[in-house]
Structure 1
Amino acid sequence: MRIVATTTDPVRLSFLRALLADAGIGSVVLDAHISAVEGGIGAFPRRLAVATDDEQRARAVLTEAGEATA
């Protein structure tokens, strides 16, 4: 698995997942349940991961949509 995005914004995270799904790329949200630890304040970013083989294509999809991340 490779991390292709990190965000504290749940709406953006949903959008990024939709972009990848439309391109046929499966994704997994890591740290999705950390809110139980942080009290729901949104301080800890969630990480969006894809399979290693899909990383380049996923980054291309995100870049094309103007959502490129470092």
Structure 2
Amino acid sequence: MRELVRTNDIVLVSAIGALLDGAEINHVVLDQNMSVIEGSLGVLARRILVSDADNREARQVLTDAGLGHELRPDD
């Protein structure tokens, strides 16, 4: 799995999820439920991951949507 984006912005997480769903790219959002533990302060960032096989396509989808600046460095 590769991390695409790490953000506290739940609207951005939702938008990226919709873009990836539209491109039929499976993804996982980690740390989504941590807000219950932290008291809904939004301190802990959510991470969006895709499979290694889908990494390049997912990055292109986000770049084409104008969200390339949100991408984590690709190791």
Unmatched tracts of structure 1, length 5 or more = none
Residues 5-25 of structure 1, C-alpha deviations (whole Å, 9 max, x = no match): 111011110000100111110
C-alpha RMSD of the superposition: 0.8
Runs of 4+ in 1 over 4 A off after TM superposition: none
Report the TM-score, using the length of structure 2 for normalisation. Answer: 0.88
Correspondence for 1:4: 4
Correspondence for 2:19: 19
- The correspondence of residues 1-70 of structure 1 with structure 2, limited to 5 A, is 1-68=1-68, 69-70=71-72
Report the TM-score, using the length of structure 1 for normalisation. Answer: 0.94
Unmatched tracts of structure 2, length 5 or more = none
Query: Identity percentage over the alignment?
Result: 43
